[in-house]
Amino acid sequence: MRPLSAKFLKSAAEYEQCPNYNRAEFAFVGRSNVGKSSLINAIVGGREKVALVSSKPGKTRLINFFEIMNKWVLVDLPGYGYAKVSRSAKDIFQAIVSDYLLNRKNLKCVFQLIDSKIPPQEIDLAFSRWLMESEIPFVLVYTKADKTKQGALDKNIEAYHLAMTDFAEGLPRTIITSSKKGDGRTEILSFIDKVLSAS
């Protein structure tokens, strides 16, 4: 697939600084070091990197807005759960994220990123539960599928879905991705197109 045009719009340090427009927004969020920046760059495509990929997790501390194809806005949210961020900073990040997710009328869907290489993490499950309880539409996006064997991948995903049955009657849509191979890009973009068409 060809690269998408992407225009940086704004970074917001707090909810009140979010831009004012009528564009539909799709937010990406996940535990720090889940591969969010790499996935965002793979989705947009092209040589120019949209999201900063860092060797140190927890570097995204602002809400970053990118207009895609003059049609919709990709929102890069701060990661959660990075232990080396100070407690006060963690509280601020969580406040920014929760304020945005609970109050942003432009938001159409959240893509919650889960590391497919590892067993279910409590912090990810807690976030999935919070999204469900808050009635925020979301898709589970499993990252790094190329970095583990198929059997382990299936086992980790099945375990996460099983754990979700403790608080969910049904499971959200699931997309398995690999930033390196481009797996899942078509599914994510097709889903966004369907949501936009239905709006």
CATH code of residue 113: 3.40.50.300
Domain count, the chain: 1
Q: Report the pLDDT averaged over residues 173-179.
A: 96
How confident is the model over 93-148, as pLDDT tens digits?
A: 678 899 999 999 999 999 999 999 999 999 999 999 999 999 999 999 999 999 98
pLDDT on residue 47:
64
pLDDT at 174 over 50: yes
Residue-wise pLDDT tens digits, 30-86? 998 899 999 999 999 866 667 655 444 444 578 999 999 999 999 999 888 755 666
| pLDDT > 70? residue 184 | yes
Q: Are 129 and 93 in contact (CB under 8 A)?
A: no
Residue 135: burial class (beta carbons within 10 Å; 0-12, 13-18, 19+): exposed
Instruction: Give 90's pLDDT tier (boundaries 50, 70, 90).
Output: low
Contact 39, 113 (CB under 8 A): yes
113 vs 2, higher pLDDT: 113
Asked whether residue 170 carries a pLDDT value surpassing 70, the answer given is yes
Considering the domain boundaries, does residue 1 fall inside one?
A: no
**Which structural domain range is residue 94 located in?**
6-198
39 within a domain of the structure (yes/no): yes
